[in-house]
Structure 1
Amino acid sequence: MTTQDQSEIFNGTASVAFKDARSIDGTDTRAVPAFVLGEELAALAEDDPRIVVLTADLGRSNRALDFAARWPDRFFNVGIAEKNMITTAAGMAAAGNIPFAATFGSFAALLCAEQIRTDCAYPDLPVRVVGHHSGMSMGFYGTSHHSLEDIGMMRTIADLTVVSATDANHLRALLRLSLDHPHAMYLRLGRGRDPEVYDRVPELTLGRAHTLRDGNHLTIIATGSEVHPALDAARLLAERGVEARVVDMWTIAPLDREAVLAAARETGAVLTVEEANITGGLGSAVAEVLADTGISTAFRRHGVPDEHVPVGPPAGLYAHYRLDADGIAAVAEELLEGSPR
């Protein structure tokens, strides 16, 4: 009997190595967002019988099987039927449960946009749609598996909360926060091998970003997988005499407008960084705040331009689009060339 389970490839444990020399290798799977999901939810379910978990045949890739091992009667593998999974989750939420429905970000946000809007957000049901392996993390699988439009699409849906996990500890905080959130939520997870930014589980408040580094020459507002390279870029810039503030804008809808306005007023320029299409994404959200308030500042959106990215290893794609530390630092310097320090 054949199987469609390709989790070993997606997890990076297969004999075929879909990476290059610059890709992160040997990362403990317990320390990356895609792999603490099931473990954390299983622990939370001990005290909260409302939690149920659904997946579309990707229980190994998102580690939902860690939840299934402890709570088999509260775990549902719907097979490769993502739209049905979201609608099923909505029905469970209507019955008083808190469902977490997890699949690749490209499938969750793009394929299931109608179900998220009409079945979850419109009736205001507490469904948590988990889009993992977002951005370009599945580089070799091409456009069908790249999730670059999800931020722009999800943040335009009324009554849908959109958040982005920075690392494993941050994901744990998001999952805990979500339990008392009464509305539908889209949780965006990174490439599954995100380096640590938070050395402990942080305290989170929706609508309030975290300033991770202070500076007065410019502010780098990053989200998700781009927060860590943004911090590295700030250190590179400091060596060149440029002090960059770094803001983790993990809360995309609602956006932290005050953090954006403070950056514009207190620093010389604002640079947004995201592993996503810049059309309609985080950069657009920040630009809307600046435009609405009439604040004038040097500003640039940095991410993937409005194009379909090439097929290739993720690390190579990050370098190609200057979404690594060196690239972000170079873009920041370009922005500052016409801005007084």
Structure 2
Amino acid sequence: MSTVNQSPKRLTSDAMSASLARADQRVTAAPLGHALVALAEQDERVLGLSADLAKYTDLHILRDALPERFYQIGMAEQALLGAAAGLAMEGFIPFASTYSVFATRRAYDFLCLDIAEANLNVNMVCALPGLTTGYGPSHQATEDIAILRGMPNLTIVDPADAVDIEQAVPQLAAHDGPTYMRVLRGKVPRVLDEYDYTFELGKAKLIRGGGEVLLISTGLMTERALEAAAALEEAGVDTAVLHVPTLKPLDEETIRRELGRDRLVLTCENHTIIGGLFDAIAHMLVRDGTVRRITPVGLPDEFLDAGALPTLADRYGVSTDKLVERVLGLRRSQDA
């Protein structure tokens, strides 16, 4: 495992930290776990399953509140998905949780053939997506969306904050077919409730308007896009933010509408720039026969270093400061 050379100024989190909230932010602790408890109390079909990671995926909240509705499968991700498939076939609504890397890399065939081919209502809710841990490639799911986007019947959700997670859980349960949601765990920021926002499965939402720059974001990068837009406003750059929480199916109608205006456009994602949000939008434009420049902001096509998360976010260009720098640099290039 390689490591990043870290200066004392940058050492503000340890390598395994999965809580990205700042000390001054409004947060909700374990929003996934509490949302599942609330749903399970209303619907006796709702169950939780863990691959020995309940404490680290926030399913311990459901385990402790409703132990009869929780199954500990152990460190066997294939068995986790096989058990979830069997429960779904019997009419239950399972939420199966592990780390994103294990669900996608180790158990792909079981997700594909046991669950997706049968179009079962199994909901994979997986922690540590993208760059949310500094433990290096063994735990950084930087390519999970790319792995899964080609799977038929599967809906893919990348929530921005606790609001997204809380509102997504009952909609995933009600959805006809399998889902995969990248989960933020621990103390998760509350951001979107300040913008009159409501999560709708399959829909993108314009969170902030702006006439000069459009940031199309998904997952935790929406928070950074909003922070960047505020900083850019102080620099005199009017910046819009379009949040895309559902990556498959993509809300092409809304995205096309926002791309119809003459603005500098960047995509922002906590995922490799290959196979995620940027590629999905570029694919749409090619199918439409539309020529439009879009600049991707995301993780590089490489295995990432281990280290402190703030250091890594800066290194790979996905921090708020680096996003602002990228926009201003593109603006200068346009004006040159």
Please report the TM-score for the alignment, with normalisation by the length of structure 2.
Answer: 0.89
What does residue 126 of structure 1 align with? Answer: 121
Q: Which amino acid is the alignment partner of residue 28 of structure 2?
A: A
**Structure 1: segments with no counterpart, 5+ residues:** 1-15
Q: In 2, Cα distance between the equivalents of 1:337 and 1:298? A: 16
Q: Which amino acid is the alignment partner of residue 295 of structure 1?
A: T
Aligned partners of 1:108 and 1:130 also within 8 Å: no
Aligned partners of 1:173 and 1:202 also within 8 Å: no
| 1:173 paired to 2:167 | yes
TM-superposition CA deviations, 1:235-286 (whole Å, max 9, x none): 1111222111101110100111122212221141221111111111111001
SS in 1 for 2:232: helix
What does residue 143 of structure 1 align with? Answer: 137
SS in 2 for 1:100: strand
| 1:291 paired to 2:291 | no
What does residue 93 of structure 1 align with? Answer: 88
| 1:61 paired to 2:68 | no
| 1:336 paired to 2:324 | no
Report the CA distance between 1:336 and its aligned residue.
3.5
What does residue 264 of structure 1 align with? Answer: 259
Given the alignment, which residue of 75, 78, 100 partners 1:80?
Answer: 75
SS in 2 for 1:99: strand
CA RMSD of aligned residues (A): 2.4
Report the CA distance between 1:294 and its aligned residue.
2.2
**Structure 2: segments with no counterpart, 5+ residues:** 1-12
Given the alignment, which residue of 245, 254, 259 partners 1:250?
Answer: 245
Q: In 2, Cα distance between the equivalents of 1:156 and 1:170? A: 24
Q: In 2, Cα distance between the equivalents of 1:97 and 1:30? A: 31
Q: Which amino acid is the alignment partner of residue 141 of structure 2?
A: S
Aligned partners of 1:268 and 1:298 also within 8 Å: no
Report the CA distance between 1:182 and its aligned residue.
0.8
Q: In 2, Cα distance between the equivalents of 1:335 and 1:277? A: 21
1:274-313 to structure 2, matched below 5 A, reads 274-313=269-308
Q: Which amino acid is the alignment partner of residue 195 of structure 1?
A: P
TM-superposition CA deviations, 1:62-116 (whole Å, max 9, x none): 2212112222111001111111101110110011000000011111222222111
Seen in structure 2, the aligned counterparts of structure 1 residues 293 and 321 have a Cα distance that, compared at 3 Å, is same
State the structure with bigger RCO (CA 8 A, min sep 6), 1 or 2.
Answer: 2
| 1:45 paired to 2:40 | yes
Aligned partners of 2:14 and 2:309 also within 8 Å: no
Q: In 1, Cα distance between the equivalents of 2:177 and 2:332? A: 43
Aligned partners of 1:219 and 1:270 also within 8 Å: yes
Aligned partners of 1:268 and 1:339 also within 8 Å: no
Given the alignment, which residue of 201, 204, 208 partners 1:209?
Answer: 204
TM-superposition CA deviations, 1:195-229 (whole Å, max 9, x none): 32122795333221111110111210111111111
Seen in structure 2, the aligned counterparts of structure 1 residues 159 and 339 have a Cα distance that, compared at 3 Å, is farther
Aligned partners of 2:45 and 2:93 also within 8 Å: yes
Q: In 2, Cα distance between the equivalents of 1:63 and 1:189? A: 9
SS in 1 for 2:294: strand
What does residue 28 of structure 2 align with? Answer: 31
Seen in structure 2, the aligned counterparts of structure 1 residues 226 and 207 have a Cα distance that, compared at 3 Å, is same
Q: Which moved more, 1:296-305 or 1:213-222?
A: 296-305
Q: Count matched residues.
A: 322
Q: Which amino acid is the alignment partner of residue 214 of structure 1?
A: G
Q: Which amino acid is the alignment partner of residue 272 of structure 2?
A: N
Q: Which amino acid is the alignment partner of residue 221 of structure 1?
A: I
| 1:155 paired to 2:149 | yes
TM-superposition CA deviations, 1:32-76 (whole Å, max 9, x none): 5xx122221111111101101000111111221211222211100
SS in 1 for 2:61: helix
Q: In 1, Cα distance between the equivalents of 2:35 and 2:67? A: 15
Q: In 2, Cα distance between the equivalents of 1:202 and 1:68? A: 30
Report the CA distance between 1:317 and its aligned residue.
0.8
Given the alignment, which residue of 66, 74, 88 partners 1:71?
Answer: 66
What does residue 5 of structure 1 align with? Answer: none
TM-superposition CA deviations, 1:292-335 (whole Å, max 9, x none): 11223331111011011111111111111121111111222333
